[in-house]
Amino acid sequence: MKILIKDGQLIDPSQEINEVRNLLLSDGKINGYPSDTKELEMDSSVQVIDASGKVVSPGFIDLHVHLREPGFEHKETIRTGCLAAAAGGFTSVVCMPNTNPVNDNASVTEYILLKARTEGVVNVFPVGAITKGQKGQALAEIGEMREAGCVAISDDGRPVMNSRVMRHAMEYAKAFELPVISHAEDLNLSSDGVMNDGFTSTILGLRGIPNASEEIIVARDITLGELTGTHLHIAHVSTAGAVRLIRDAKKRGVKVTGEATPHHFTLNDKAVLNYDTSTKVNPPIRSREDMEAIREGLKDGVLDIIATDHAPHTEDEKKVEFDLAPFGISGLETALPLALRLVEDRILTLTELIRKLTFNPAQIIIRSNRGTLKPGAPADVVIFDPNKTVKVDRDKFFSKGRNTPFHGWRLSGQILYTIVGGEIVFSA
């Protein structure tokens, strides 16, 4: 099976390509860039896609999704999560371990990978828990999870509060070359907070989560990163202070990378003003100054990647009092159009944006030949129209999670084709 993608604007930051080129996929791999396509076009076994005026790039890689399976299949399954990823242009997703049971041992990892192989349509790379049951105490069997296929460790959602445990986890992870992903939150300081701590929480009478709650743990984990030399990846950076801490650490040569989500670089906490629970997310949507700092961090490279923190919940779970609603935004299917606003606002060039969605995440976690269109690499490709206006319609989501604060927004950017291993898994 061959696919010829003709006349597209090929953007591959891994090779600094940004020009009109043909792309040939065969046997699940990138074959090359044929300039003369006459023969191929006459070959009935070759599927030809006309991509003129469209962007062709490596498939996106999302380092932060919650697929909810096993345990919370009413919110999402590996199948629906993968379909949502494909619709969003993602060919690989990295799924967090806060399932039930927690992905804290090789058998759960194997279960996820088996499900992904049989029911998923995109590549799924699991993250193993740092501690057993994500309880923050005893180390999980990190080595065996690595053997089973985990690509990083994290206690996302329930961060490790004990600094000694975190130190040992970071030391131990080094033996297996696994990066440690930190959901940076001081749970004592967050307490029962439900939104950003500031003027808006004061007006709404909602309990606030201060910026310091994130920054204290970012500072701690950077310090432990210096102590241990382990690659530290800070998930969903939401505050100006956290950006500053990562910037300083990078200058000192600490092995740290940072991630921003579309909701944190698009919204500020005024979005919560009518108690809309679709805006309830952890870390919370912060002030306008924080949002600007996230954008600045993306621009100057302090924040290396864009990830969605896709966290689906059912409508019933979200249609309750703000205090009772679960944290999380369903993000896979709105990521590209929201990210393209960074290009429109001249924060990033299109190439820089694609780098943060492809090559950079591949470099951080999956030490493999993904996130690139180099010949021989897996044929994971996305074709999109950056200028086509779309109206976000949560009722058309593939994800079971309709919990988006962007419903009804008019945005530019439509995914046309998502190709995984040479197979078309989504087409508009």
Partner 1 sequence: MVFEQKHILGLEELSSDEIRLILDTAESMKEVSERDVKKVPALKGVTVVNLFFEPSTRTRASFEIAEKRLSADVLNFTPTESSVVKGETLLDTARNLEAMGASVIVIRHSMSGAPWLLARELSSSIVNAGDGFHEHPSQALLDLFTVREIKKEISGLKIVIVGDILHSRVARSNIWGFIKLGAEVRVVGPPTMIPRDIEKVDVKVHYNIENALEGVDIVMMLRLQKERQESGLFPSLREYSRFYGLTRERLGLAKADVIVMHPGPINRGVELSSEVADDMHSVILNQVSNGIAVRMAMLYLVASGGGSG
| Sites of contact with partner 1 (CB under 8 A) | 197-199, 201-206, 208, 274-275, 316, 319-324
What string of DSSP letters covers 308-352?
--B----HHHHSS-TTTSPP-B--TTTHHHHHHHHHHTTSS-HHH
CB atoms within 10 A of CB 321: 9
- Decide whether 183 or 400 has the Cβ nearer to Zn ion: 183
Q: How far is the CB of 236 from partner 1 (least distance, A)?
A: 22
21 versus 158: smaller Cβ distance to Zn ion: 158
118 binding partner (options Zn ion, partner 1, none; Cβ < 5 to 8 Å by kind):
none
> Are 98 and 76 in contact, with CB atoms under 8 Å apart?
no
CB of 123 to Zn ion, least distance (A): 21
State whether the Cα torsion 266-272-276-280 is positive or negative.
Answer: positive
* The binder of Zn ion chosen from 183, 250, 355, 394 (CB under 5 A): 183
CA 146 to chain centre: 20
Among Zn ion, partner 1, none, what does residue 156 contact (CB within 5–8 Å per kind)?
Zn ion
- Binder of residue 117, out of Zn ion, partner 1, none (CB less than 5 to 8 A by kind): none
Q: Which residues contact 24 (CB under 8 A, 6 or more apart)?
A: 2, 3, 4, 5, 30, 31, 32, 33, 34, 40
Rounded to whole angstroms, the Cα distance separating 10 from 50 reads 13
**Residues within window 109-168 making contact with Zn ion, judged by CB under 5 A:** 156
Q: Which is nearer to Zn ion, 12 or 155 (CB)?
A: 155
Given a contact cutoff of 8 angstroms between Cβ atoms, the answer to whether 334 and 411 are in contact is: yes
Q: Distance between CA atoms of 97 and 258, rounded to whole angstroms?
A: 19
Smallest separation (angstroms) from partner 1 to the CB of 158: 22
For Zn ion, give the closer residue by CB, 115 or 183.
Answer: 183
Q: 3-class DSSP state for residue 224?
A: helix
- Catalytic residue IDs: 309
304 binds Zn ion (CB under 5 A): no
Instruction: Between 227 and 324, name the residue whose CB sits nearer to partner 1.
Output: 324
- Given partner 1, Zn ion, none, residue 183, with its beta carbon under 5 to 8 Å by kind, binds Zn ion
Which residues, including other chains, have CB under 8 Å from residue 174's CB and lie 6 or more apart? 228, 229, 230
CB 390 to Zn ion: min, Å: 27
Using CB under 5 A, list all residues that contact Zn ion: 156, 183
